[in-house]
Structure 1
Amino acid sequence: MEDAPLEFTTRHRILPKDASVLSSLNPDSLALVLSSPPYPMISMWDETFSLQDGRIRELLSGNQGWKAFRAMHDVLDRVWAIMAPLVMPGGIVCINVGDALRTVDGTFMLYPNAERIVTAFSNLGFSVLPRIIWRKSTNAPNKFMGSGMLPAGAYVTLEHEHILIFRKGGKRVFTGDQKALRRRSAYFWEERNRWFSDLWDLAGERQLLKGRAARERSGAYPFELAYRLICMYSVQGDLVADPFLGTGTTALAAAAAGRSSIGTEIDPVLAESAATSLREQCSPGKIAHSINRRRMKEHLGFVEEYRTRKGELKHRNTCYDLPVITAQETDLILPEIAGLEETGGEDDSLSLRHRPWRDRELQPPFAGA
Structure 2
Amino acid sequence: MITEHSIYIGASQHMTFIEDNSIDLVVTSPPYPMIEMWDDVMSSQNHRISDNLEEKPEEAFELMHQELDKVWKECFRVLKIGGFLCINIGDATRTIKGNFTLYNNHSRISKACVDLGFVGLPNIIWRKQTNAPNKFMGSGMLPCGAYVTLEHEWILIFRKGGKREFKKADAKLSRMKSSFFWEERNVWFSDIWDVKGTKQKMRKDSSRERSAAYPFEVPYRLINMFSQKGDMVLDPFLGTGTTMKAAMLLGRNSCGYEIDPKFEIIIREGIDELDIDMCNNLIKSRFDAHKEFIANRKSSGKEIKYFNETLNCEVMTSQEKELELNYLESISEDKNTGTYKVVYENHSDLTTLPFTHTFFKKAK
TM-score for both structures, normalised by structure 1: 0.89
**1:96 equivalenced with 2:88 (yes/no):** yes
Pair 1:123 & 2:118 matched: no
**Contact 2:14-2:74 within 8 A present in 1 as well:** no
For 1:95 and 1:264, how far apart are their aligned partners in 2? Answer: 15
Any conservation in 2 of the 1:11–1:350 contact (CA below 8 Å)?
no
Match of 1:79 in 2: 71
Is 1:291 the counterpart of 2:285? The answer is: no
Please give the per-residue CA displacement for 1:127-180, whole angstroms capped at 9, x wherever unaligned: 000000000132412342111111111100000000000000110001221111
Q: Which residue of 2 aligns with 1:185?
A: 178
Instruction: Write the distance in 2 (CA, Å) between the matches of 1:242 and 1:88.
Output: 15
Higher mean C-alpha deviation, range 22-31 or range 153-162: 22-31
Matches within 5 A, 1:337-356: 337-345=328-336, 348-356=338-346
Distance in structure 2 (CA, Å) of the matches to 1:110 and 1:54: 23
User: Is 1:50–2:40 an aligned residue pair?
Assistant: no
The answer as to 2:124 corresponding to 1:150 is no
Which structure: greater helix fraction? 1
Residues 75-84 or 214-223, more deviating: 214-223
Determine the C-alpha separation between the residues in 2 that align with 1:319 and 1:12.
32
Look up the match of 1:367. Answer: none
Q: Which amino acid aligns with 1:349?
A: T
1:365 alignment partner in structure 2: none
Deviation at 1:17, TM superposition (A): 1.2
- In the TM superposition, 1:126-137 aligns within 5 A as 126-137=118-129
Q: Is the 8 A contact 1:144 1:156 kept in 2?
A: yes
The 8 Å contact of residues 127 and 152 in structure 2, kept in 1 or not, is answered as yes
Distance 1:160 1:286 in 2: 30
Q: Is the Cα–Cα contact under 8 Å of residues 131 and 198 in structure 1 kept in the other structure?
A: yes
> Match for 2:294: what amino acid?
V
Shift of 1:304: 0.7
What is the letter of the counterpart of residue 220 of structure 1? A
1:196 aligns with 2:200: no
Root mean square deviation, CA, Å: 1.8
1:195-235 CA-to-partner distances (Å, cap 9, x unmatched) read: 00000001111146432653425213000011000000000
Give the counterpart of 2:154 among 153, 162, 171.
162
Superposed, 1:1-369 pairs within 5 Å as 9=2, 15-20=8-13, 22-60=15-53, 62-176=54-168, 177-207=170-200, 209-211=202-204, 213-281=206-274, 283-287=275-279, 289-345=280-336, 348-356=338-346
CA 1:208 to 1:291, structure 2 compared with 1: closer, same or farther past 3 Å? Answer: farther
How far residue 290 of structure 1 moved from its aligned partner, in angstroms, is 1.9
Moved over 4 A (4+): 8-14
> Equivalents in 1 of 2:221, 2:207: separation in Å?
26
Contact 2:6–2:17 (8 Å) recurs in 1: no
Report the AA paired with residue 294 of structure 1: S
CA distance in 1, matches of 2:296, 2:134: 38
| Mapped contact 2:43–2:50 kept (Cα < 8 A) | yes
Unaligned runs of 5+ in 2: 348-364
State TM-score, norm by structure 2.
0.91
Name the aligned partner's letter for residue 195 of structure 2: L
Residue 354 of structure 2: aligned partner: none
Unpaired segments of 5 or more residues in structure 1?
1-7, 358-369
For residues 334 and 173 of structure 1, do their structure 2 counterparts lie closer, same or farther at Cα, with a shift above 3 Å needed?
same
Q: Could you tell me whether the CA contact under 8 Å between 1:19 and 1:265 is conserved in 2?
A: yes
* Partner AA of 1:330 in structure 2: K
Q: How high is the sequence identity, in percent, across the aligned residues?
A: 46
2:186 partner SS: helix
Number of aligned positions between the proteins: 346
User: CA separation in 2, counterparts of 1:11 and 1:298?
Assistant: 34
Report the residue type matching 2:277 in the other structure: G
2: CA distance, partners of 1:87 / 1:54: 30
Distance 1:12 1:312, change over 3 A: farther
